Structure 1
Amino acid sequence: MLKKLFKSFRLPLKRKAHPRSTPEVLSNRQHALQRAKFSRNAVNVVERLQHAGYQAYLVGGCVRDLLLGLQPKDFDVATSATPEQVRAEFRNARVIGRRFKLAHVHFGREIIEVATFRANHPQGDDEEDSHLSSRNESGRILRDNVYGSLEDDAQRRDFTINALYFDVTGERILDYAHGVHDIRNRLIRLIGDPEQRYLEDPVRMLRAVRFAAKLDFDIEKHSAAPIRQLASKLRDIPSARLFDEVLKLFLAGYAEHTFDLLVEYDLFAPLFPASAAALKRNPDYTGTLIRQALANTDERIAQGKPVTPAFLFAALLWPALPARVLHLQERGMPPIPAMQEAAHDLITEQCQRIAIPKRFTLPIREIWDMQERLPRRSGKRADLLLENPRFRAGYDFLLLREDAGEETGGLGDWWTDYQDATDSERRSMIRDLANRQEEAGDGPAKKRRRGGRNKRRGPSTDAPAGD
């Protein structure tokens, strides 16, 4: 495939560590990319900017993916025009961002992202540029609006495979950092000094893992070397930004491989500290449950089915929860209140690292709460649970726990049969369940006394006090 895409183009055996000031130019005879393969709207944006006197190229992921025979998710444009100049050229454009200002050009549901060429950031205390670019004490870039030339833009991009520019006019590829070489060798390589680039933006460590998982590439050894040492720098990243990055990591169709790489490079613990501790304590169960949940997510995405982040986060955090629930129960708290309090504390802690929105934390807690309610099936409880809007998610989560090796006494099979049973079969199942519980010494089925309320017989595995 790659040989066809690159035709007869021959690459040097060795490559330089830093980007070139002048690009290596691949003519349309040396690669198989054509402008027709790119979004028509993106090509139109490039041409309109060029006709207005600006430099403009298709850049980054869309060029990389098409060289690999993949369909790009979106199409980005790099230009010498400022965001305000882009907006002046397109009535359907609006300027967004503060840390990284750029323009979005809207074509119905498609958005073409147009970014101005950026330059490297000033290292000194130049007050003139302080409102455009700044770093904190550790070197992390806080604002990134220093504009520059095309050559500057190529040098400040993160990975070599993203420093590829496609000229729609001559169908040429401009390669400033030997990105084509790394594509052919299936390598993720940082541009510049890896440690410095990670300190500028620690999220680049997550991006390296994400691209390696997506493209099935290796992280080049010099680019991989500092990651474990600098993994803790992710704690300096705003929790809201990490939420967006985690969704990119786990909701793109290669979550299981991504998880393995995060663990390999010690990046999982800064994102999910409680879950990482559970993984260390019980690697078989925790690893199996998380990987199974991520494999299911990948499968649903491959089939075009919807995926909710709530279920994903519920699975990622669950291994840290049971020990906390048990601790509260040992202090005398009934199971369901113990589950609720432990869930609240765990999610609160997690949101300090990753700002999971309330629209997801509420269903996470409901899915977990359902795990305490599903064993309680006597009387009309089973039918009431079936009517619960979170039943399906709770039931799926129960099966996930069983697949990971949790022993539930056949609870998953019981609920599977109950959903498919007729009304009379369901009544029979409830009676059989009550008889088995009585024979096992769990207490007889409760009877309503005339003129009074149910009289509880004390805690049992099926209907504890406090339910």
Structure 2
Amino acid sequence: MSELQTIHPLRVIPREEHNVSRREISPNALRVLYRLREAGFGAYLVGGAVRDLLVGGHPKDFDVATDATPEQVKQLFRNCRLIGRRFRLAHVVFGREIIEVATFRANADDGSGDRETHEGGRVLRDNVFGSIEDDAIRRDFTANALYYAIEDFSVRDYVGGFEDVRNRLMRLIGDPDTRYREDPVRMLRAVRLAAKLDFEIETATAEPIPRLAPLLSEAAPARLFEECLKLFLTGRAVASFEGLERHGLLDALFPESAAALQANRSGALRRMLIAGLRSTDARVANDEPVSPAFLFALLLWPAYCRSLAQLQQGGMHAAEAERRAADRVTVHQLNTIALPRRFSLPMQEIWLLQSRFSLRQRKRVFRLLAHPRFRAAFDFLNLRLAASNEHADDVAFWREAQTQPGDALAVQLDAQSPAAEAGANGAPRRRRRRRGGSAASGE
């Protein structure tokens, strides 16, 4: 790590000047802190937990930083396991809760081979240990480099993070270009944390992001999948999406959807996407589950609509075009984000079921109602009203169909069948099917 900003003079914020309380800290984290102290080691609550407590939040994870090596931590705790090769860590396990304990790391290579960087500046391995001052300046954002000391209940600040938290600023420690090249995912973290905490990204920290966004292609697709879940499934999906747009990261994460949104002059696709993300935030706030399959069906819907329209304009039959568009969008997206099949297949089913909502034949209606993805696909259809009222009749029909007894629904469908809609000369009137179905029409 080069050109890190000069360390600030240590500022110790006493207990009476901050709001971090032991009552808000996990009892298991306190056990780890006290045992490390009793064994003669320095031990501090660090990172996101301290930051979140300072802004009145309720952290779910509590991390500890110490001058004890991972092997020394393991000797103190029978319920400890060592993990990681890139970053060796100790996990102290208390049932379902894991307290992560990290040894203070240095910001320079000591020649031991325990720090390895890519020629582009990306850190591949970092297990050179150092002092708490070293540890502070190698962290990513100033707000994440605050240490809560159990011996006097103070907060220790080596990089100006306390004031940045007060001012609600996300600021990188060191030269932004260098830090993003070390780990391009930091650009996503900046957006995610700013959205989560309602912070602004400091000007110098934000400036290189659009220019360096293509570096995300170097990140592991599996890691980007996990980062997307954090961006969109923690209750701040709308703010995260708007942050990705604002800082030029949407093109890097979802290139085909970004292109489709830019080409959709009416803004219908974006209205639907935002409505879906707003609904996702509401479900998270109510502790209701949100499927990653549904989330990615929403995020990649613009790409699917555009691909489907292109195939149909080329003369491909509607059903074949739908299948081909779904496969094409999924395969292309896998180059960036490793979407597991257990999510990509249900995502495609949600898309492919959309054109079946316009059909009213009795067998088709009952078959669709019995489909395992029916509810998710219907919820998706309902969201499409945010883009166009074209689907209002379909939504009304299927909402009512779910509430009716089977025999009553069958009678209603029989009464509406083409055979019952005979014209004046007794010949049945045939319903005209819209060419290309309804998957992308009007959107």
Return the TM-score normalized by structure 2.
0.91
Aligned to 1:82: 69
3-state SS of paired residue (2:73): helix
Instruction: For residue 408 of structure 1, report the CA deviation from its aligned partner.
Output: 2.7
Gaps of 5+ in 2: 438-443
**Equivalent in 197, 202, 210 of residue 215 of structure 1:** 197
Matched-pair contact (CA < 8 Å) for 1:87–1:103: yes
Paired residues, what number?
430
3-state SS of paired residue (2:91): strand
Encode CA deviations 1:252-299: one digit per residue, 9 max, x unaligned. Answer: 100101100100000011000000001110151221121111111100
Distance 1:444 1:460 in 2: 16
Aligned to 1:12: none
Residue 23 in structure 1 maps to residue 5 in structure 2: no
Return the TM-score normalized by structure 1.
0.87
Going from structure 1 to structure 2, the CA distance change for 1:463 and 1:204 (only over 3 Å counts) comes to closer
Distance 2:347 2:44 in 1: 43
After TM superposition, list the pairs within 5 Å mapping 1:132-143 onto structure 2. Answer: 132-143=114-125
What letter corresponds to residue 81 of structure 1 in structure 2? A
Residue 54 in structure 1 maps to residue 34 in structure 2: no
Matched-pair contact (CA < 8 Å) for 1:163–1:177: yes
**Equivalent in 410, 413, 416 of residue 427 of structure 1:** 410
Residue 63 in structure 1 maps to residue 44 in structure 2: no
Residue 269 in structure 1 maps to residue 251 in structure 2: yes
What letter corresponds to residue 267 of structure 1 in structure 2? L
Q: Percent identity?
A: 50
Going from structure 1 to structure 2, the CA distance change for 1:50 and 1:437 (only over 3 Å counts) comes to farther
**Equivalent in 285, 288, 312 of residue 271 of structure 2:** 288
What letter corresponds to residue 213 of structure 1 in structure 2? A
Distance 1:247 1:265 in 2: 19
Going from structure 1 to structure 2, the CA distance change for 1:439 and 1:27 (only over 3 Å counts) comes to farther
Matched-pair contact (CA < 8 Å) for 2:70–2:82: yes
Distance 1:282 1:37 in 2: 47
Q: Which has the higher contact order (CA 8 A, sep 6+)?
A: 2
Distance 2:181 2:263 in 1: 31
Matched-pair contact (CA < 8 Å) for 2:385–2:392: no
Distance 1:463 1:351 in 2: 27
After TM superposition, list the pairs within 5 Å mapping 1:276-355 onto structure 2. Answer: 276-282=258-264, 284-355=267-338
Distance 1:370 1:66 in 2: 45
Matched-pair contact (CA < 8 Å) for 1:105–1:112: yes
Going from structure 1 to structure 2, the CA distance change for 1:184 and 1:372 (only over 3 Å counts) comes to same
Going from structure 1 to structure 2, the CA distance change for 1:322 and 1:32 (only over 3 Å counts) comes to closer
Gaps of 5+ in 1: 1-16, 447-456
What letter corresponds to residue 332 of structure 2 in structure 1? E
Instruction: For residue 330 of structure 1, report the CA deviation from its aligned partner.
Output: 4.2
Going from structure 1 to structure 2, the CA distance change for 1:52 and 1:377 (only over 3 Å counts) comes to same
Aligned to 1:236: 218
Encode CA deviations 1:65-110: one digit per residue, 9 max, x unaligned. Answer: 1111110121000111222222222111111122222111110111
Instruction: For residue 199 of structure 1, report the CA deviation from its aligned partner.
Output: 1.1
Aligned to 1:451: none
Matched-pair contact (CA < 8 Å) for 2:414–2:420: no
